[in-house]
Amino acid sequence: MTGTESSRIIPAPAAPTDATAVSPDVWGFRDTAFEISPDGHARMTGSRYGLSGVELPDLLPWIRQVLDTPFVPNDTHDSAYPPPVPAPVENPAFVAALRSIVGDEGSSADPMVRLRRGHGHALDEMYAIKYRQIDRIPDLVAFPASEEQVLALVEAATRHGVCLVPYGGGTNVSDALQCPVTEQRMIVAVDMQRMNRVLWIDAENRIACIQAGAVGRSIQAQLGAYGFTLGHEPDSVEFSTLGGWIATHASGMKKNRYGNIEDIVLDVNIVTPRGLITRTSVPPRESVGFDPRRMIFGSEGSLGIVTQAIVKIFPLPEVARYEAVLFPSFENGLAFLRDLTKEGMAPASVRLVDNLQFQLSQMLKPRAIGLKAAVRRAEKLFVTKIRGFDPARMSASTIAFEGTREQVARENAAVGRLARRHGGMRAGAENGRKGYELTFGIAYLRDFIMKHHIIAESFETSVAWSDALALCTNVKRRLVSEYQARTLPGIPFVTCRVTQLYQTGVAVYFYFGFVHKGVDRPDEVYAELENAARDEILRSGGSLSHHHGVGKIRRAFLPRVFSQASLEWAAEVKRAVDPTNTFGIVSQ
């Protein structure tokens, strides 16, 4: 093993995960949600985000206009959560074995505990728990506290014919946790929340060993206490886990500075039905032939349970600052991103929103009064009249810098120079900070608008620079065309943003929504439309997914991505590693 045990820092055990802090039926924390104030304005409850406690008087009128909907505050589609919970399939022999492994407190058959481990945050799942039901969920939930317990649990499941489902933060949007109704075996969700420690930190070699159940916000706190960061910050960082990031092949907002998950992870332990996959040493790089660890990235729980990983860590940045840049159009902004990447000057995070998302960001601001109102009017006048930006075409880039003072200064200078080259203008650090933090607050909008008869979701892809603009245009056009062909109500909401940069291309997020009042089974209609968008993405040269993974939502598209030989190879690996299909819900 790299380093010596005597030189390692052993952090204190992490505080237990507070399961009650997170809502079971909507995204995020229980104390945070969008609601409508007595004055008829949208506002966010709680105190966790920049939007918290702020009334947003422009948001609802904007939604009414953009989607052509009345959006009457008291006309709601109220949730019937919790839905009926199916009776569990029982396997007394396995239950007895499990209790001998994890103890009486290490498992739960509580219906609500089972229900939450039976779904992620995909739109169809969230609609089902509010307005329908889920026909098959785990029959039992296990909470192992050590790698040894996971090993014994997997061995017992294989011996007793039980199906296992690894569970991290439950944030996936790919139906990965969806249990097949045809599964006759007992299904047990293996919740990793008790394995949430940073086991050790090697400050000299800048590596750490972290258990797979550690949630992103906990990892940040544990490493930050010793002056380090992992740097991996997906949109779901507050709730998702290290094990989930590895299993889904995740990407983070600051990947320009720290890399994607496969760049950060040096070693991973995984418990399979064939035993524990582990290593004796973790050098910086090696060439040792076929490496089974690499098959774990993107395995989505089909091969085993990730228990811990050794990861790169980085000193907390000397400087962390933000910036925002306005552009006359999305096309100008995309050209700016390309040049920034060509010159190797991309800051830690760079995002570009199209005009519709830019408009939304403006609606998520409190109404200014007095001097602030005057300043805002003057700024708008300068942008639209002096600079000549068209409010119906302009876009914006949100930028986060992290690094040394010299590094940030170089990147900041490049941003200014290249922004001017493409007709852009700086909008200031405060707008940049708010734009970056908006990522976390805006996630709560989906469940709020669902209650008000609007159904919406996001999906993503990656695409070469040469195809990026055409792909964005084609997907938007296809969605509008498909929507109109079904004579659905109102106007569809179709927008996109660029979220990650590569030398060869970009990652693109799409957001799509529509008014569902009067639409029969709107979740299924949405699925049809998203599948049409996915078809167009592949036609336009995009990837099946950039970081959400395949799950069950995109599984039917795999033959369009891989050759038959590739699919057969993957199936053979699955049969070799898991011959009894213990981890069965992904492959069925």
Q: Which two tokens stand for residue 131?
A: 């307005």
Q: Among 435, 400, 530, which Cα is nearest to 50's?
A: 435
Q: Are 126 and 184 in contact (CB under 8 A)?
A: no
Rounded Cα gap, residues 130 and 525, in angstroms: 17
- On the 0-12 / 13-18 / 19+ scale of CB atoms within 10 A, 75 is exposed
What single-letter DSSP state applies at residue 505? E
Q: Print burial letters for 449-481: b (CB count within 10 Å at least 16), e (below 16).
A: bbbbbbbbbbbbbbbebeebeebbebbbebbee
Please name the residue that has the structure tokens 């035993």: 275
Rounded Cα gap, residues 316 and 306, in angstroms: 27
As beta bridge partners, residue 248 has: none
CA angle (359 as vertex; 354, 320 as ends), nearest 5: 70
357 φ/ψ sector (left φ>0, alpha ψ -120 to 50, else beta): alpha
Name the residues annotated as catalytic.
509
Judge if the upstream peptide bond of residue 82 is cis by omega within 30 degrees of 0.
Answer: yes
Which residues are within 8 A (CB) of 566 and not within 5 positions of it... i.e. 6 or more apart? Answer: none
Rounded Cα gap, residues 514 and 522, in angstroms: 9
